Chain A
């Protein structure tokens, strides 16, 4: 192919992605430095970093940042640990393995809004939910999940959806593990844990880091689950950064402050992205 044609073929994807990145990004940065509230259109003008200051000193900011970290951290630990355990459990030939696999990964394909509603209504509802029923059966007081432990409830919901993702990835890479090596280790009398530490874990090091990084990107931006179940409450107990910014823009109509928050979220995501891109770049053979 001649070089001109190559360039023409590549151009559309590069141009649209460049616009998709640069136009909204520069607008966000611009909005974040001006006075811009839809309720007070007469107040305008450049105000430097005041929006940022306002965002940072908002009493909701610190709880939201903390909630974001707790959400991301707990979900990561749960999904990776449970994902590892389950994928090791099914890493053996048995009858019905295909069905078990399908059952295990299905939650990942459920819409986040649907998943949120299933958990909120049919499982966690304090009056008619299944958990309340079981609590009553064993004589305990039903927990008001979304009222009393909103953050934990969201962690459970998201983990239910994302552990299957970890299982899917770990399962796939376990299949490429050298079986002869494992058999040799067994013959040499290496126990389960020694095999796990010395063979399996090193083999899974890459998939684990990828699973963690990809989840970081998605979980920093958890939105639908909060939107549908707790609306960030009670108070700000289950408000994360994404939801806080959403509230600033859609309910307080403060475009400036919301944009400052947006810039903050972008920076946070990019710190993660650098690591992810490096990890992916290593595997891309060009």
Chain B
């Protein structure tokens, strides 16, 4: 065998391995989706059923017998609301910092990041009491506020990095023409940074959507999101594997697709811009 052939063979083996590993990692998700199309009896059958007549019964039942739609809407409202609020606060700030960098800019950004590292459980009691006192406990508004604050540091940092990539000359030229700051942001910065803002939003939505701690602790019925709704199936009494799988599939599908779309931006966002 020549060196080239050997190299080729090695590559072949690596690729086969790669597929095997990928299948192992993906298997639990595949199995969840598969189970969601089984009847409850098939779901717990031994031996496990790989081939069966698929049914949509679970999907129709969770719509009619649980408040699935309500929780899904709650998830959408809190994830998008939290993201929107974070962007509204962050865009002007990140813009001002990126184009008027001062002595303290870096320190401010690093301090913001440090607030992200405050463990939620460390402030559990105060947030709980504040929520009770203000009457915000178990409301979507509360989750929107918390999600916005939770993600604000990351959103700030990514937006800051994006804004810095906009050439300063363009802004200077427009200022010469006497464009107001508001128009400058709206007509020049926003169109240029649009991609960056969209992917930042995507990352924030993913993080909000999958957030579990606060939604479990701070909601009971009205503002329950999909994460805490799924958590409520932990009770051992019922073996509703097929229905749980259907709920889970619906709850995860949009976010997994979002994740696939935003891979690159995710790397930047998740590493706070340290890996690009």
Contact = CB atoms under 8 A, between A and B. Distances in A.
A and B interact physically: yes
Contact of B270 (A10, A169, A261): A169
A3 B114 CA distance: 26
A57 interface: no
Contacts of B9: none
Contact of B259 (A21, A106, A160): A106
Contacts of A127: 46
A112 B234 CA distance: 13
A10 B124 contact: no
Contacts of A31: 125-126
A224 interface: yes
Interface string A14-48: 10110011011101100100000000000000000
Contact of A12 (B22, B28, B93, B106): B93
B138 to A, nearest CB: 15
Tell me what chain B mostly uses at the interface: helix, strand, loop, or mixed. Answer: helix
Contacts of A269: 117-119, 122
A103 interface: yes
A268 B263 CA distance: 31
Contacts, number: 300
B47 interface: yes
A100 interface: yes
Contact of B266 (A121, A168, A268): A168
Interface stretch (B53-61, B63-71, B193-201, B206-214): B206-214
B121 interface: yes
A263 interface: yes
Interface string A111-147: 1111111111111000110100100000000000000
Contacts of A6: 96, 100
A36 to B, nearest CB: 9
Q: Name the residue among B44, B212, B248 with the largest chain A CB count within 10 angstroms.
A: B212
17 contacts: A9-B92, A10-B92, A20-B115, A27-B123, A28-B123, A86-B18, A92-B11, A108-B259, A116-B234, A121-B241, A172-B264, A223-B212, A258-B125, A262-B122, A262-B123, A270-B114, A276-B117
Given A94-B15, A246-B124, 20 more contacts: A6-B96, A6-B100, A9-B93, A20-B115, A21-B115, A24-B130, A25-B118, A92-B15, A103-B26, A111-B248, A118-B28, A118-B29, A122-B31, A123-B31, A168-B267, A214-B270, A224-B231, A270-B114, A270-B117, A284-B109
Interface of B: 11, 14-15, 17-19, 21-23, 25-26, 28-29, 31-32, 35, 43-48, 89-90, 92-97, 99-101, 105-106, 108-110, 112-130, 149, 152-153, 156-157, 164, 181, 206, 209-210, 212-213, 216-217, 226-228, 230-231, 233-234, 239, 241, 244-245, 248, 251-252, 255-256, 258-260, 263-264, 266-267, 270-276
